[in-house]
Structure formats: C-alpha cells, structure tokens
C-alpha cells in the first residue's frame, strides 16, 4: 500500500510503498480516508532534536485520521466492518497506576502511532479496538481532526466554562478549536490573541467575541479592559511562546485557571511569586485527550452541531503532496491541513 | 406608600398604605419598579399550613424585585443613589458555620423578605447593601425575576452541563429558565416534560430540543429513546410532583445527577435500591441561590445575552391587581408574572 | 475440586465436587486461600426474591477471596504464578459509556462472580487478569475481605473526610470498616450507631469516638449533641433500615453529604422537602468499588498500616462448614466471617 | 501601651509606647497574650525591597496572635468580652468579585495587620469582629501560630490527601505544620526534605515517615525510591528555593499536584514541557487562608487533638526582646518563635 514513511535518521519524508498491515487479536484494520497533518509531523520531517531522540525509523508517520473498518481481528465484539471511525493515537498499557486510576492520557508506557509505531499516513492502519471510536454520522474530514480537536476539548472542558470569560492565547488550529468549544460551552466572553491576522480572522469565525493582534496591541491591557479590570477566569495557553506564557499569567484573574497546552522550547523564567502564588491561581498541564471522557464529550458536541471545526480546515492535499502540506504549515498562515487518502 | 400586605392570620392579601421605610446603617432604600409574583406569594395569600407556621402578620409580601436606589444608609461604600439594582431576598446571619464556609444559601438564621420581614410588593424597600446587586444595564423587568431565575442557575450550573444531555422535569417558570440556561451552558440535548401544552411551548421557545407531554407520552421511555437508551446525564426536577420525581430517578443515566428543586407535598415513597443506590447516582437538594456565585454567573449570562428570560414573562399587572396575578398563577397556564410598580 | 454450589432453584447450598477451571486468554487461575462470606451469599442460600430473579443455577457461589496465582493464560503480561492476589468480583464489559468514562463500577453489563458466573467458594477460580490485584504483602485473610472493605472505602473516600465529623449508621462489617477508614482519613470525630451491643463494641474498637445504641438512645439527638447542634458533615448509611435512613437525613448538617450503601427492602417514604431539599444536602448512591481507584487507595491504607480490618473478622470456618458460617451471620452478632480454603 | 513599631523608612524596629486603640463599630478590642514572629516581620525589620514598597510607617508590626476580648464595639452580636480568640490578619473588602465568590483570601483590597495597619506586637489590638475566631479551649500559645498554621492547612487540605504520598519540600515552621497535617489527614506516606538537620528532626517529630537531607542526598531519587518509582501524589513546596522548586516538579508523579507556598526571590527558569505539561500535573498557588473554611478545619483538628503544633514552637521571648527573636529566625535553626505579651 502507499504510505508516507520516515525512512532514515535524517530530514525528509518519503512517499513509498509498504506492506499492508493485518489486524491482530483485539485489533481492527482501517482503510484511511482522511488524515490530519500536525506540527509533530513537521518535526519528524525536519528531524529535530525531539524526533531524533524518539523515533526509530523506518516508521509510517501520521497520527490523526478517520476511515472505514475493513477487517476485524479476533476477540473484538463491539466493532464491525463498514463502520466509519476515528481513533485515539495514544496506545496505553492498561496496567500502570495512571491507567488504573482513570488517567491513561498520562500512561508512562504510551506508544503513539506515527511516532513509536506505524501511523496513519497510509492506505491502511491496524489499531487496537479499544482505541477506535465510531463516527456515528460525523464526516471523515472532521473525524480526521478529532485528535487535535480533542486536545482543545481537554484544554477547555477541564476548566469551568459556563458563564466565564475565556482567553485563548494563540490561534493555531487547536487554539481556534478551543475558541469554538468555549463558545459552545457557554463562555460569557471569548477573547483570542495571535500575531497572525489570518489566524485571528479564523478565531473570529469560530466565535471569538474579541481578537487581539499581539503585534500591535498590549495584550494584557486589552484583556483587562475587556474584563472590567479583573482578568479572564480561564486562560488557555495554546502557543508555547514565552512572551505569551507571561501574558497568560498576567491576564488571568485572581484565583483563575491557566491551562497549558502550547509547548515552549527550553526554559522560560517565571516569577512564581507575582505570576502564580500571590494570584492564588491553578495551572494545569494538558497532554493528550482523556480516555475516553474527552472523546465522548467531543462526539456529543459534534453530533449535536454545537461546534463545527470545518472552517479551521483550510487546506486539503492528496497523500503524495505531503511536502506541500508541510510547506503550508511552515507558512504560518494555514489553519488545519488534512490529507485526502481515499 | 402603597403596598400589598398580609394583614391577619387568615386567607387574603390587602393593597393598602404603610409607612415608607428608611435605610439603617449598612442599608439602602430602593424604589421598586418591577416585582415578580411567586408560588410562595400564593401560599401566603391562601394561608396554607406552611404560611400559618411561618408568618407573623402584618408583613409586606413579595421577595422578587428590581428598582432604583434612592437613599444610602451609613457605612455603605459600594452603592450609590440612582443605580438600578435587584437583590437577594435571603438575609443571612454571616456568623454560622454555613455562612462562614461559603454556604450562606443554607444559613439557618435566614430571614426572607416578604416572609419574615417586610418585602418588595411596595413602592419602597430597605435592603442590606450586602444583598443588593447592580443591574449594570439589565432591564428591571428582567431584574425582577432574577431571584427565581437564580434558582434555575443554581440548579443547572451545579451540575456538569457542557456536552451533557439535560432533562428538565416540569416547565413552570423556573423549569423554563432552566431549559434556557442549560442550552446556553452547552448542553448537547435538552429534553423537557410537563402536563401543560402552553408550558411545553414556552420550554420549546426557551430552547428545548425535545418536549414530552406527560399526559400523553411515557416520559421515561421517551427520555431513554432520546438518549440511546442511556438516560439523561443530568435531571433537573422542578415540579415537586411525586410521579415526576420517580421519572427523574428512572430517566437519569447510571452515575448521573438529579437536582431537586421542586417541593413535593408530604412524603413520597422511594425505592432507594433501584432508584438511587444501584444506579450510583448523586442527588442534590437545591435551595435558594449561592451567595453570590450564582448571582455573578447570572449577571454574566444576562449581560452577554446568552439567555433571555423575557419569553417566560407572560403577564404583567399593576400593584393593585395582585388578585388577578394570583388567579393567573392558579390557572396553571401562566409563565412568570410580574407587577409593574413604578 | 471442592466447591460450594447453588445447585437448584430452591433454598440451600451444597458442598460438592466440580471440575477445576482452566484460565482462558487474558485470565489467571487462582488457588483460593481465604474467602469472605457476605449477606449476598445468605440471600442466595435462602433463595430470596432477588436471588430467584438473578441466578441461573448451578453456580459456584462466593465473591470475596484471596489466593495464589497457579497458572497464567495467554496475553497476560503483568501477573505471574506464585503471586498472592485478591480480585474485583465485578467483571465489566469495557465498552459501555460508564466503562469508557471511568465508571466501570456501574457498567450495565456487569457480571458478578458467585452470582452470574462461578465464584470463589472453591479451591480454584479463573479470573480476568484485569480484575486481579497483587496483595504485595497484605495477608490473604485481609485480602479475602477487601471486596466489602472496598465498599467501605468507596463510601467514605468519596466524601471530604479530613477534619469532618462522620456519622456511620449501622455497624455491620462494612460499617465497622468505614469507622476505621474515616479515622485513618482524618475525621475529627467519628460517631457510630447500631442496635447491637457487640457491633457497637467492634465499632469502638475500630476507632469510633462515640457509639450510640439505637435501642436505647435518641440517635438524632445524640448526633446533634456531639456536633454542637450542627449535625454531622458526612453520614454513611450502612444499614438499609428505613428508620436509620431517616436518622441519616436528620443527623446530617445543612449542606452535608449522605452516602447510601445499605439496601432498604422495598420503598421508604421520604419527605424530600425537609429531609433533602431545604437542607441543601448531597446524596450519593454507593455501589461496588471504583475500578481501580478504590483498590489503589485501599492497598495503600493497608500497606501503610493506616487501618487494620482484622478486629472485624470475628469468625473463621472451613469450606465445608458454610452452614455454620451462614448461621453466624443470621445471629446478627458476627462481624466479618471468612472461610479458610487452603 | 507597649508595642513594637516600625517608626521610619529604614532598618530596625522599636519597642515603644503608643496610644491604646479603641474598637469602632463592628470591631472588638483584644488584649494580646501571645504573638508569632514571622519571616515577614524580619523583612520589615530589615526594610527589604518589598517592605520599602509596601509599608507606610509608623505602624505597629505583627500579624499572628491570640488574646482575650476586653471590649466589644457597636453592632457586634456574636462575640463577648472574656473570650479567648485569635484572628485572621487579612482584612478584606467584602465587595470585590473574589470576596463575593468565596475567595476572600485573594481579595485585591486586602489590608494586612502589622503591614498595612497597626498589628499585634502590642498590648492591645482592635480587630473587625468578622476576622475574630474564638479559641474554644485551644491555648493562646497555639492560637498565636494559627495564622501560619492556617497557611499549612490551606496548602495540604486543598489537595486530596487520604491514602496519598505527600512530599513536603522545606521544613521551616509551615513545612513542619504541613507534615503533621498531612499525617492527620490520612497520608499513607509523608516525606520531608530540608538542608538543616534540626528542621528535619522537627519534621520527623511532627510525623514524617521519611526525611531527606538535601545537602547529602539526591532528593528526587530518594522520593522516587520511596514511591516505587512513581513520584509523590502531592508535593507541598514550602521553601521558595529555586532548586527545591525543580525537585518539586521532578518528584511529583504523572497527574499529581504541586502546591506552591514558598516564595522564590525573582525569576526561576522552568522547562514547562517536561516539568508541567507532559506530566499532566496541576499546580496551585497558595496564599493566605481560606476565609473561613481553613479556620474551621484547623479549629476542628486542634480541638480533636489530630495535630499538635507545639513541638514546632522552639522559642518564646518577651515583647521587649524582639531583636533576639529576629536573630533566632536568622540563625535558620529555629522552628516557630512566639512573643509572650501578657
């Protein structure tokens, strides 16, 4: 079958042919229809330090996807061929303390598809049935972005949103999803900031009441002005940019909550006294999606039409044009990019 | 000044003239513009067992209102004349365990305006500044119903609503408010039941996805059908009707939450094993409004336009026509009724 | 192998010989050393209405046990022969909404060992590896009562205990465990009531600060006297007796929490207004053990020596003397009874 | 009356005579018996940058105390002369968002006694009745340290302690209190670290199962070894030392909770990715005491004898010997120091 493969310990991805997988016991085989391209895929293509430390090529890349079940392995009762599905890409051990206490999303034995084992930029992928979620009418274009959208759901819905003022720092695809989710969850006001006008326009389209152009405006002052001087009840930091991180702490109200999803490069100096302790705030590190509370919430939102992620999907490419997809991400102007595989 | 007074320990209310109050230290004097009429006022008029046990006539009745501050007593820094305001009608002690631990809404020394001291069906009322909430642009017709609407906010927002299926049992005014609040807070599906078609139409207007006519349909079966057989995540019991209470327990999903606001008359036989314990559910008794979290949330919802209670206000009468207002409540067809005082 | 079997749809249990099971894929075979006898076993022996509706004889009874792993089926990586273990007796589906959102304890497809499939009153039992918990040094006599003790952990630790006053209603084995757990979790005062002096003495031994003899004292008055008139912060209802249920509601403070574990027979009339709603309390139905948070907490408590359940184990019988064990339960004087099997 | 006064904007404190205060409306006058000396008092004496920015001399210093009510101002119903009391030293506005939503401990209009208005190192202090807490049998030596002990209660009891492993970083007085509180709240294991052997001995005396000498041992490795490689469920950072802060993040388990009370000087570089986000942890900034949940819990613990802070009180001086008290703090060997005033 055709697949996008990290072949060697060096920059680059290759569109090539690899053997079609077959589902083991407890697994299903999925014919991939659409797959999302993520910053992680870019890091793997570029062979950055993280990729170099983690990947063992050759590996089929890609971890966001949706498709159709075409074969069912042994001991799988709850799924059947023909179902359109997406999947959680974190394959967890089930035995560790975290897995046994409802926190599989931080299982220390997690293996990620497209990183630690073959992934979804391919015509077929074999997945453990446990990780597979029926789409129940959600289109596969949307299914293909439910992994990153799940990050946004995890970020937003682990805070108390109804009636709150929510400030989303950074309007990449996950930030834009977060804007829409916060609106749907009853935020009284959603404020979003970014340095890119196209992304701010997307955030606006997803429902932000107020957008702040960080290249032009004083972000913290703007948030305070929009909140009667209090600051935001909930801040979702989706950028990983050090200056934005400080804005997150400065813009949250006393006793508020900062959700950290964006990954800063290296260390960021923090004044714990004034930024965290004296403000009496709570900070939460967001990783992955809660398995499977987040997925359950997300499917309900999507099925009920409470949020529509499609405006965020700005580009669509065939599998063979992965390099163009990566270039679009590099441009900084893209929203979410998906590959059309079948 | 003109006021509606419970004069003696017998049925009836009297529109009469009483002395205008003056604000003591820590109090403000409010010129009432609009006041809401409540089932409690009906009980007081009818002089039912509860009223007979609690009231010490003569007392000016009425506890839901909004108006303008016209005088400010000593030691009040945060309010000023000319402000349009509403007020929490539960005047609490501030010293008991509940008051000292954030639960003033269940202060055992609570004195309620219009019940334990003079109330709001009058041209003026003196209120402790602590209990007064500026409307900040919310109209006084809406301000007049923020007390009962606060009950609905308390009921809905102490459950986990975003993405949930919410079943509202009973579509009186507070039930209809609850429907609108659940929608605004991101419920994936809101189901409402009642025995009165007009009330069901109001619930629909407030945003219910599904309404169930309990005179015609099997309520529990209908809720199960709408929830893929699971039952609702959250049930808000707003009716106080024994059969509806059983429907609440039967229609909530395993591990779900039942919020009890409606007040049944006398005892209701419950099968704790099958209705509560084996289902692993949580039941919460809702009384009053959280002081002042509920008010804060409510003002944000109203200011942000997330919910508009005005469709529920079906009747408006002048102060002198209190008997007509009570008759409209008795008819069972009314939504919320307010008095226009100034 | 020797086993205690419910052979037919009629009262009685039979000590007999049945084939030794063998572990399937994902299962382990456990040589049972000690097994706890439960009220449920009594109901099965007596063939009460519940048993008649649920059991499909023949079935090996017994669901509380500890023993040694003697064989490991395929696809089991985390367990090995020679390990001393206990097990969660609720075998759940893993696919339903509850299982997928951290609430397996209310999986609607639960099959209970000793009820819906062969149980633990036998020399050997085959169990899914997922349900098996290594004892890590906890003796098998204690391991044999971790199922009911887990009910007590679930009851107590889903309330906020540190610094609280806890009232345990009913001092059967699970009530006595609850007393010890509440003490270990930092309850400021633990009050326990029962109608049986021996059980009250056990509760005292497990750490109750105050015991109330319900045959002699006014239970509610006594709890109020011990709590400065406030009532208890947390009430654990472990008896299932209707009068005790009312005491639970009357003895909890305003805004407090009532945990319901005891199973009343049939309906109990409740005055929702005065017992639940006007008090602003929360009521929680406790079923089973949280999988596997409760087990994790329990193993830590036991390993750390924070609570010792052994005083509650008042009787020990060989497998063949199940009738004597049941008679001891019927007497009402027993604490926990265990069978010594190997 | 005699008092310790910050007279001018320069280093030093002066024992001198000032006018005896009288209680205004809503206030009581307290004859101080014992007062605790805090690091803050040292900063005021030393006139560090913080003190220079905040204080407006002359001001009577001291904010931790207990004494006897000797006069009651107008409009105070719940207190009476002769009562032994302590007090919350943060005087809050009651009107801001935080005060109105149960978070007075982060009121932005907080005025602290001994900092922003006259304090407790004096024969008498006038206090708002709202801030005064009857000791109900707790001795005034203990009452004098309930302010800092309240910080420890706030730190520990806002985490989930029963059955948890708790790591206390820094064994100054508040850290030692935290050790005792964690034990009393049912921690399965309490680990404490410090660089000072005397402080570690105090932590041991307060109940630490394990103490780690950070000058000699690899702190993180030691915590991992004590927790089966998992890390601690809850880490209380009480030192404010940058290296200790990194140990806190490294020693908490995946999904755990870090409570930050110690105040670092200036900025600390943090690797958000590896220290917070990828670990999925929650970080909470602890400031002051919850008003008045913390006080309520604390009085119950002390009254029930669950924790005894007295071993931590290592020194006692008369009011006039404040310089010796400050010297003892500077030595780093002292636990808590109190002044005996009457």
Name every chain A residue with its beta carbon within 8 A of the beta carbon of B188.
Answer: 300-301, 303-304, 306
pTM: 0.97
Looking at CA atoms only, how far is residue A100 from chain C in angstroms? Answer: 5
pLDDT tens by residue, D247-257: 999 999 999 99
Chain A / chain C CB contacts < 8 angstroms: 28
Q: What is the mean pLDDT of residues D47-75?
A: 97
Name the interface residues of B facing D (CB cutoff 8 Å): 25, 75, 77-78, 94-95, 97, 100-102, 130, 292-293, 295-296
CB crowding D82-115: b at 16 or more within 10 Å, else e: ebbbbbbbbbbbbebbbbbbbbbbbbeebeebbb
Q: Tell me the two tokens of residue B65.
A: 């209102």
CB of C278 closer than 8 Å to CB of B287: yes
Distance CA D289, CA D88 (A): 8
pLDDT tens by residue, D67-84: 999 999 998 999 999 999
pLDDT tens by residue, A124-133: 999 999 999 9
Residue of A100, A158, A296 for testing the chain C interface, max C β-carbons within 10 Å: A100
CB-based contact A296 C101, cutoff 8 Å: yes
For C103, phi then psi, to 5°, come to -125, 45
Looking at CA atoms only, how far is residue C285 from chain B in angstroms? Answer: 4
pLDDT tens by residue, A27-49: 999 999 999 999 999 999 999 99
Chain D: residue whose CA lies nearest to B97: D296
| Candidates D16, D34, D40, D315; catalytic one | D40
Distance CA D51, CA A66 (A): 60
CB of B194 closer than 8 Å to CB of B222: no
Distance CA A199, CA B272 (A): 54
Q: Tell me the two tokens of residue C124.
A: 């050997």
Partner-chain residue, chosen from D98, D264, D280, that has the shortest CB–CB distance to A272: D264
pLDDT tens by residue, B233-274: 999 999 999 999 999 999 999 999 999 999 999 999 999 999
Residue of A95, A98, A101, A289 for testing the chain C interface, max C β-carbons within 10 Å: A101
pLDDT tens by residue, D283-341: 999 999 999 999 999 999 999 999 999 999 999 999 999 999 999 999 988 999 999 99
Q: What is the ipTM of this complex?
A: 0.97
Q: Is the dihedral of CA B297, B298, B299, B301 positive or negative?
A: positive
Distance CA B97, CA D160 (A): 23
Name every chain A residue with its beta carbon within 8 A of the beta carbon of B304.
Answer: 188-189
CB-based contact A280 D285, cutoff 8 Å: yes
What percentage of chain A reaches a pLDDT higher than 70? 100
Name the interface residues of A facing D (CB cutoff 8 Å): 97-98, 103, 105-106, 108, 230, 245, 253-255, 260-261, 263-264, 266-273, 276-288
**pLDDT over 90 (residue D240):** yes
Q: Tell me the two tokens of residue B310.
A: 């005005």
Mutual angle of helices D219-226 and D242-251, in 10-degree steps: 30
CB-based contact C304 D157, cutoff 8 Å: no
| Candidates C34, C40, C154, C165; catalytic one | C40
CB-based contact B292 D100, cutoff 8 Å: yes
B209 upstream amide cis, omega within 30 of 0: no
CB-based contact D106 A267, cutoff 8 Å: no
pLDDT, residue A184, reads 97
Chain A: residue whose CA lies nearest to C77: A95
Name every chain D residue with its beta carbon within 8 A of the beta carbon of A245.
Answer: 272
CB-based contact A157 B162, cutoff 8 Å: yes
Distances (CA, A) of B327 to B323, B333, B341: 6, 10, 19
Closest of B177, B126, B123, B129 to residue B154, by C-alpha: B177
CA A146 to the chain's CA centroid: 8
CB of B173 closer than 8 Å to CB of B336: yes
Question: Within 13 Å, how many C-alpha atoms sit on residue B132's CB side?
Answer: 31
> Kind of pairing, strands A64-72 and A90-91?
unpaired
Sheet holding C2-6, edge to edge: C14-17, C2-6, C59-60
pLDDT tens by residue, A197-239: 999 999 999 999 999 999 999 999 999 999 999 999 999 999 9
Partner-chain residue, chosen from D189, D304, D306, that has the shortest CB–CB distance to C304: D189
Distance CA C21, CA C19 (A): 6
Mean pLDDT by 10 residues, chain C (342 residues): 98 98 96 97 96 97 98 94 98 95 96 98 98 97 98 98 97 98 97 97 98 98 98 98 98 98 96 98 98 97 96 97 96 94 92
Q: What is the mean pLDDT of residues D110-131?
A: 98
**pLDDT over 90 (residue A188):** yes
> To which H or E segment does residue B67 belong?
strand B64-72
Name every chain D residue with its beta carbon within 8 A of the beta carbon of C163.
Answer: 157, 185, 296-298, 300-301, 306
Distance CA C289, CA D116 (A): 52
Chain A: residue whose CA lies nearest to D102: A255
Whose tokens are 């000087």? That residue is D265
For A10, phi then psi, to 5°, come to -165, 165
Partner-chain residue, chosen from C100, C101, C296, that has the shortest CB–CB distance to A100: C296
Looking at CA atoms only, how far is residue C6 from chain D in angstroms? Answer: 38
Name every chain D residue with its beta carbon within 8 A of the beta carbon of C300.
Answer: 163-165, 188
Question: Within 13 Å, how many C-alpha atoms sit on residue C316's CB side?
Answer: 14
Looking at CA atoms only, how far is residue B73 from chain D in angstroms? Answer: 15
CB-based contact B300 A163, cutoff 8 Å: yes
Q: What's the mean pLDDT when you consider all of chain A?
A: 97
pLDDT, residue C332, reads 87
Whose tokens are 């009391």? That residue is D85
Q: What's the mean pLDDT when you consider all of chain D?
A: 97
Name every chain B residue with its beta carbon within 8 A of the beta carbon of A296.
Answer: 163
Helix/strand/coil (H/E/C) assignment for every residue in B256-313:
EEEEECCCCCCCEEECHHHHHHCCCCEEEECCCCCCCHHHHHHHHHHHCCCCCCHHHE
Looking at CA atoms only, how far is residue B43 from chain A in angstroms? Answer: 34
Looking at CA atoms only, how far is residue B54 from chain C in angstroms? Answer: 15
CB of B43 closer than 8 Å to CB of B11: no
CB-based contact B300 A185, cutoff 8 Å: no
CA D47 to the chain's CA centroid: 20
CB of D176 closer than 8 Å to CB of D156: no
Chain C: residue whose CA lies nearest to A132: C95
Q: Tell me the two tokens of residue A144.
A: 């293909």
Q: What is the mean pLDDT of residues A82-100?
A: 96
For D92, phi then psi, to 5°, come to -110, 165
pLDDT, residue A307, reads 97
Partner-chain residue, chosen from B77, B100, B295, that has the shortest CB–CB distance to D296: B100
* pLDDT less than 50: residues of chain B: none
Name every chain D residue with its beta carbon within 8 A of the beta carbon of B94.
Answer: 130
Name every chain A residue with its beta carbon within 8 A of the beta carbon of B301.
Answer: 163, 186, 188
Distance CA A319, CA A341 (A): 6
Q: Tell me the two tokens of residue D260.
A: 């930050």
CB-based contact C101 A25, cutoff 8 Å: no
pLDDT, residue A332, reads 87
pLDDT category, A96, cuts 50, 70, 90?
A: very high
Q: Tell me the two tokens of residue C150.
A: 């887990």
Chain B / chain D CB contacts < 8 angstroms: 28
- DSSP class of residue D102? T
Name every chain C residue with its beta carbon within 8 A of the beta carbon of B272.
Answer: 245, 260, 263-264, 268, 285
Please tell me which chains touch B, using 3 or more CB pairs under 8 Å as the contact test.
A, C, D
Name the interface residues of C facing A (CB cutoff 8 Å): 25, 75, 77-78, 94-95, 97, 100-102, 130, 292-293, 295-296
Residue of A101, A224, A230, A277 for testing the chain D interface, max D β-carbons within 10 Å: A277
Please tell me which chains touch D, using 3 or more CB pairs under 8 Å as the contact test.
A, B, C
């Amino acid at each position: 079958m055709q697949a996008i493969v990290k072949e060697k310990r060096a920059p680059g991805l290759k569109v090539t042919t690899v053997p079609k997988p077959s589902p083991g016991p407890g697994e299903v085989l999925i014919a991939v229809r659409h797959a999302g391209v993520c910053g992680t895929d870019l890091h793997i293509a570029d062979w950055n330090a993280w990729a170099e430390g983690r990947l063992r090529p050759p590996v089929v890349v890609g971890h966001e996807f949706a498709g159709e079940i075409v074969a069912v392995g042994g001991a799988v009762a709850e799924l059947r061929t023909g179902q359109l599905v997406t999947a959680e890409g974190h394959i967890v051990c089930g035995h560790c303390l975290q897995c046994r206490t409802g926190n599989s999303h931080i299982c220390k034995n997690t293996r990620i598809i497209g990183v630690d084992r073959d992934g979804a930029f391919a015509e077929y992928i074999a997945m453990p049935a446990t990780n597979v979620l029926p789409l129940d009418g959600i289109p596969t274009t949307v299914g293909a972005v439910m992994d990153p959208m799940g990050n946004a759901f995890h970020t937003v819905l682990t805070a108390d949103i109804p009636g709150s003022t929510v400030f989303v720092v950074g309007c990449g695809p996950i930030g834009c999803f977060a804007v829409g989710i916060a609106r749907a969850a009853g935020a009284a006001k959603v404020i979003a900031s970014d340095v890119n006008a196209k992304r701010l326009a997307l955030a606006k389209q997803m429902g932000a009441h107020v957008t702040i152009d960080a290249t032009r405006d004083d972000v913290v002052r703007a948030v305070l002005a929009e909140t009667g001087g209090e600051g935001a009840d909930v801040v979702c930091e989706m950028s990983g940019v050090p200056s934005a991180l400080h804005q997150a702490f400065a813009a949250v109200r006393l006793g508020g909550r900062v959700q950290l999803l964006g990954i800063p490069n290296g260390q960021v100096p923090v004044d714990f006294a004034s930024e965290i302790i004296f403000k009496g705030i709570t900070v939460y590190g967001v990783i992955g999606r809660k398995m499977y509370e987040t997925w359950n919430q997300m499917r309900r939102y999507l099925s009920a039409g409470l949020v529509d992620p499609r405006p965020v999907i700005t580009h669509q490419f065939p599998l063979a044009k992965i390099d163009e997809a990566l270039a679009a991400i590099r441009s900084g102007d893209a929203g979410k990019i998906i590959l059309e595989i079948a």
